[in-house]
A and B are shown apart, each in its own frame.
Chain A
Amino acid sequence: EMQLVESGGAVVQPGGSLRLSCVASGFTFEDYTMHWVRQGPGKGLEWVSLIRWDDGSTYYADPVKGRFTISRDNSKNSLYLQMNSLRTEDTALYYCVRGVGAYTWFDPWGQGTLVTVSS
């Protein structure tokens, strides 16, 4: 069974930093592009970032560009999101997701880890 398990969410003050982790199992992690998607409280889904499986290239949504860094460690089947200069608008449930296929659909999703940015 494919599974993604996130961790690292916490309450942090504005301007602070946090590192999220995601451990994958049940599939060959190194063969897939991985993404972070977030969902603010009572809000819709927002794509955050991706890291490609082949060349490790990364892409970011404009609201997080320059503040967040996505990375992966294929030897540990793990995905990371380093979040710096956090803002109150970054408060959300952060999902780790696998990107699949030429049409890049998301499956599976983790259960999410909650980041709350508040003073």
Chain B
Amino acid sequence: DIQMTQSPSSLSASVGDRVTITCRASQNIASYLNWYQQKPGKAPNLLIYAASTLQSGVPSRFSGGGSGTDFTLTISSLQPEDFATYYCQQSYTTPLTFGGGTKVEIK
């Protein structure tokens, strides 16, 4: 199985900060990497697919990058509504696997 490792597992940041979350795959997954945002008590919501394509309706302050084994999710200027947990997910092969999540909290 492909293991997905996210770092950090949590972070504290202020409104306006630039935030970067990393996701590392245990083997080459090309660009088969997607990112989700989950707020408490809600289902996850797709942010980015195929490593760097922004889902329709998602603010442009979110961006994704990387390929192969190393990926990033960047929030260019953190907004109050961005405090949530973020997950990466590989779709290169079954079993499809998620990273452990990164909780973004208010400093």
Interface residues of A (CB under 8 A from B): 35, 44-47, 50, 59-62, 95, 100-101, 103-107, 109-112
Contacts and interface: CB of A to CB of B under 8 A. Distances in A.
Query: For the complex, would chain B's binding face be called helix, strand, loop or mixed by DSSP majority?
Result: loop
Contacts, number: 63
A44 B87 contact: yes
B14 to A, nearest CB: 26
Contacts of A103: 31-34, 49-50, 91
Contact of B45 (A44, A47, A104, A109): A109
A47 B97 contact: yes
Given A45-B89, A112-B43, A105 B98 contact: no
A93 B36 CA distance: 17
Given A103-B49, A106-B36, A47 B95 contact: yes
Contacts of A45: 36, 38, 44, 87, 89, 98, 101
A54 to B, nearest CB: 16
Given A106-B36, A106-B89, A112-B43, A62 B95 contact: yes
Contacts of B11: none
Contacts of B1: 62
Interface residues of B, number: 25
Contacts of A104: 32, 34, 91, 96
B76 to A, nearest CB: 22
Contacts of A105: 34, 46, 49-50, 55, 89, 91
A44 B91 contact: no
Given A44-B101, A47-B96, A110-B43, 9 more contacts: A44-B87, A50-B94, A95-B43, A103-B91, A104-B34, A105-B46, A105-B55, A106-B44, A109-B43
Interface in B39-58: 43-46, 49-50, 55
